[in-house]
Homo-oligomer: A and B are copies of this chain.
Amino acid sequence: MSLIVQKYGGSSVADAESIKRVAKRIVETKKAGNEVVVAVSAMGDTTDDLLDLAREVAPLPDPRELDMLLTTGERISMALLAMAIKSMGFDARSYTGSQAGMITDSRHGSARIVDVTPGRVREALDEGAVAIVAGFQGFNRDSRDITTLGRGGSDTTAVALAAALGAEVCEILTDVDGVFTADPRVVPRAHKLDRVTSEEMLELAAAGSKVLHIRAVEYARRHDVALHVRSSFNNTEGTWVVSRSENMEEPIITGVAGDLGEAKITVVGVPDVPGKAADIFTIVAKTGANIDMIVQNVSAAATGLTDISFTLPKPDAEKVLAALRVEQTEVGFASLQYDDQIGKLSVVGGGMRTSAGVSAQLFTALSEAGINIEMISTSEIRISVVTRADSLNEAMRVVHTAFGLDGEAEAVVYAGTGR
């Protein structure tokens, strides 16, 4: 008997009708002879609505209380889902993150999982029941408080359960058919991938792909959990995320990702002496901001000054600019520039490791389309470039075609956010 863990996101359980539909899907999975565990998100926009409510009563809501508040969303959907399954004649029980043994550290709002002890879930399965677990939440033993896991939390819950229970597969049910070579709403000729390595998936997620969260992919990779991203609306095979490629030769480029969520800060006129870059990035690191790409120009010999540019998520920009301004005299730079009209395009592929010329092919394709490259950053299996934001979508289509990724037909796009 296979043990399958399924994860359903907020848009899959947005209302009573959707919940009943998902319940039916779960029952079919059970009837096929599997043990079934389900991690579920809050219904629709519940989490955002609760956040809004919190900010109405307190401008800076207390983190412990915010977690207490937000976790009600998943409790509601898990209880409704269990009720729906029971009314279809199958036993089902819902469990909070705490009851399911999701043990975390104490960082409210972004807790890390430190242990998973799903004893009650295992008991439920042994008694023939489906276990529904609230995603996005855990429990801290020291403070005896509820915690939330932060972005990608429900995916992570599902993968962590799959690892702890030794599941055959962890299915991520979403409103697209799987992982595509590019966002089909931007690149109509994108096609669904049958499989992608977790290394590639990590890069695609970091580069802007929204269908799976980087954290869940990394957890799956580390614990050797097979991930299957598929549609909650139909039964077609989706995309398998595998630990390593099974092909002798990996595709050079697996996918193209675009990200409009970053901004660029340039520290202008930095004295070109040892330690200045370290000073700047120490100041930045203290703000807790996540820096992505860094570029330092060669200094002008005449002035002995150089510029350092870096990209970061737009929400982090303000605190970083503020922190740098405070230290302007100390560090000695001339000025700061802020640019929030950038787009980041990335091509990802395991085969890039052993193929020369990928960069050249990428830069040529963009140049021929008249699209200017402003920054470049690479890893073993990824190349990212920064362009103007309003060029990003066209750049993605151009590069997708240039690397032979265009499918035969236009992809079917469902209404939905791809989560």
Contacts and interface: CB of A to CB of B under 8 A. Distances in A.
A242 to B, nearest CB: 36
Q: Tell me how many chains of this kind the complex includes.
A: 2
A301 to B, nearest CB: 55
A388 to B, nearest CB: 41
B83 A61 contact: yes
Contacts of A62: 82-83, 86-87
A57 B94 contact: no
Contact of A54 (B65, B69, B80, B99): B80
Contacts of A69: 75-76, 79-80, 83
Interface residues of A, number: 37
Contacts of A72: 72, 75-76
Interface in A74-122: 75-76, 78-84, 86-87, 93-94, 99, 120
Given A16-B53, A93-B64, A94-B68, A58 B84 contact: yes
B87 A56 contact: no
A79 B86 contact: no
Contacts of A120: 144
A67 to B, nearest CB: 8
Contacts of A64: 93
B58 A83 contact: yes
Interface of A: 16, 19-20, 23, 50, 53-54, 56-62, 64-66, 68-69, 71-72, 75-76, 78-84, 86-87, 93-94, 99, 120, 144
